[in-house]
Amino acid sequence: DVKVTQSSRYLVKRTGEKVFLECVQDMDHENMFWYRQDPGLGLRLIYFSYDVKMKEKGDIPEGYSVSREKKERFSLILESASTNQTSMYLCASTGQGNSPLHFGNGTRLTVT
């Protein structure tokens, strides 16, 4: 069974802090994704990666960066957290072809 693990369930950070959200998957998936989920806006893709050290911008990359140094790990970085980045962050992974997205349980980030 695929497992996508996000290191923190809840995080509270201050405006201007650098924030790291970590995600690990255990199924050797090539593709990994970061979404944010907000009421009334649904899931929006921030960044994705289809291979180690590769990254592509999603629909809302501004204010975020990512790192993928190992196949199983995909990190989302908020260089200088702002209050409008308060959200639920979901990591997902998928293999090649038609395999479905497998999501982690999310990190609820609050920026004060």
Partner 1 sequence: QKEVEQDPGPLSVPEGAIVSLNCTYSNSAFQYFMWYRQYSRKGPELLMYTYSSGNKEDGRFTAQVDKSSKYISLFIRDSQPSDSATYLCAMSPLTGTASKLTFGTGTRLQVTL
Tell me the C-alpha to C-alpha distance, in Å, between residue 6 and each of 9, 15, 38, 98, 103: 7, 22, 18, 24, 9
For the CB of residue 69, give the shortest distance to partner 1 in the complex, in Å.
20
Q: How many CB atoms lie within 10 A of CB 6?
A: 18
Say if CB 89 and CB 30 are below 8 A apart: no
Binding residues vs partner 1 (CB under 8 A): 4, 9, 31, 33, 39-45, 48, 56, 58, 90, 92, 94, 96-98, 100-106
Query: In the bound complex, what is the minimum distance in angstroms from residue 34's beta carbon to partner 1?
Result: 11
**Residue with smaller CB distance to partner 1, 17 or 37:** 37
Nearer to partner 1, 48 or 81 (CB): 48
Instruction: Give the nearest distance from C-beta 75 to partner 1 in angstroms.
Output: 17
Tokens of 99: 């395999």
CB 51 within 8 A of CB 32: no
Rounded least distance, CB 82 to partner 1, Å: 23
